Amino acid sequence: MNIRGMTRDELDTLVEWAAREGWNPGLDDAGVFWATDPEGFVAAEINGELIGGGSIVAYGKKYGFMGFFIICPECRGHGSGDHLWHERKRRLLTRLDADASIELDGVFDMQDYYTRGGFRFVCRDLRFEGRGMDLPQQERIVEASILPFKRIDAYDRQHFPAARSKFLQGWINRPGGHALAAVDGDEIRGYSVMRPCRTGYKIGPLFAANADVAESLFVSLASRVPGEPIFLDVPEINRDALALVARHGMKEVFGCARMVLGAIPKLPDAEIFGVTTFELG
């Protein structure tokens, strides 16, 4: 097996494989992911044929994320995935400082495997599914596009382990997507993004100063797509976030273990109502 840097077309192939596995990727995820870090994707091939890959995105030198780990079904069970995973970890470590943190969202069945690879459990991120609703726009919720990008960027930096300006520019401004911010005078009190996927829409991130702000952002986004499936990936440690999805009758349909190699990033957990993406953090 040969492990090397991935091409842009191969990332599209991985997205298609992910869709067949039921991951329900966003319609423009590949483009945004690639623009974030073109060197952050690794491919595995046998006899010149792509058989798997994954992301090793570096956000600066202090934080990295391993995601999008997939092996084509007919190549599983022969050790290829194990070799690819360890090589991805090795390569990402070389891109970061020695004291950096690396995180991942792994399916629960793989949690013991990642533990043997040096990762520690942080929390469960649970995916909930519901339906868009036909409700009026909430007060003090505005289009994120009317605010200077640097203000959204600065707010995001308070809720994510590293600066990710390049990622956010593509994440917020995407065809068919919606990005909203909660404002109080000149202060941003929260923001969220909803993107179209193969099925319905995913909301993420959902960062908010408190439960009331999170509710307003969530309702405002869900009201853009009445009757459509919507998904929110909730950190289980945020009890207010669990109460939000319960109020709206959303059902748990999937989950991952957030795990870390190195120090656990210090974040305002009570303000993180929805993670951005299982693939890039």
Q: Consecutive sets of 10 residues in the chain, 281 residues long: mean pLDDT of each?
A: 96 94 94 96 96 96 96 86 95 98 95 96 98 89 97 98 97 95 96 98 98 98 97 98 98 97 98 97 94
Q: Tokens for 210?
A: 């408190």
Q: Which of 92, 109, 125 is the last residue of a domain?
A: 125
Instruction: Indicate if 6 and 119 belong to the same structural domain.
Output: yes
- Residues near 77 by beta carbon (within 8 Å), at least 6 away in sequence: none
Task: Give the structural domain span for 159.
Answer: 127-253+268-274
Asked if residue 112 and residue 159 are part of one domain, the reply reads no
Q: What are 49-59's pLDDT values in tens digits?
A: 999 999 999 99
Alpha carbons 231 and 201: distance in angstroms, whole number = 6
- Both 12 and 116 in a single domain? yes
Q: What is the reported pLDDT for 137?
A: 80
Q: What is the pLDDT of residue 154?
A: 98
Same domain (yes/no): 121, 132: no
Q: Is the residue at 262 inside a domain?
A: no
Would residue 132 count as lying in a domain? yes
Q: Within this chain, do residues 8 and 43 fall inside the same structural domain, yes or no? A: yes
Whose CA is closest to 202, among 169, 229, 164, 165? Answer: 229
Which of 85, 110, 125 finishes a domain? 125
Phi first, then psi, for residue 66 (nearest 5°) are -105, 125
Q: Are residues 194 and 121 in the same domain?
A: no
Residue 279, in any domain of the structure: no
Residues in contact with 203: Cβ distance below 8 Å, sequence separation at least 6, in sequence order: 192, 193, 194, 218, 221, 222, 230, 231, 232, 274
In a domain, 104, yes or no: yes
Maximum Cα interatomic distance, the chain, rounded to a whole number of Å: 60
178 plus 89 within the same structural domain: no
Kindly state whether residue 28 falls inside one of the protein's structural domains. Answer: yes
* 8 Å CB contact between 188 and 57: no
**What per-residue confidence (pLDDT) applies to 138?**
83
State residue 165's pLDDT score: 97
Residues 131 and 170 in one domain: yes
Task: List the CATH number of the domain containing 201.
Answer: 3.40.630.90
pLDDT at 80: 87
**The token pair that represents 70 in the structure block:** 């997939």
Helix/strand/coil (H, E, C) string of the chain? Answer: CEEEECCHHHHHHHHHHHHHCCCCCECCHHHHHHHHCCCCEEEEEECCEEEEEEEEEEECCCEEEEEEEEECHHHCCCCHHHHHHHHHHHHHHHHCCCCCEEEEEECHHHHHHHHHCCCEEEEEEEEEEEECCCCCCCCCEEEHHHCCHHHHHHHHHCCCCCCCHHHHHHHHCCCCCEEEEEEECCEEEEEEEEEEECCCEEEEEEEECCHHHHHHHHHHHHCCCCCCEEEEEEECCCHHHHHHHHHCCCEEEEEEEEEEECCCCCCCHHHEEECCCCCCC
The answer to whether the beta carbons of residues 193 and 172 sit under 8 Å apart is yes
What is the predicted pLDDT for the residue at 130? 98
Same domain, 151 and 248: yes
140 backbone φψ class: left, alpha, beta (φ>0; ψ -120 to 50): left
The number of folded domains in the chain is 2
Residues 117 and 233 in one domain: no
pLDDT at 76: 83
* Domain assignment present for 25: yes
Residue 113, both tokens: 């495997």
Q: Are residues 223 and 165 in the same domain?
A: yes
Distance of alpha carbon 68 from its chain centroid, rounded? 10
In this structure, the answer to whether residues 71 and 51 fall within a common structural domain is yes
Final residue of a structural domain among 85, 107, 125: 125
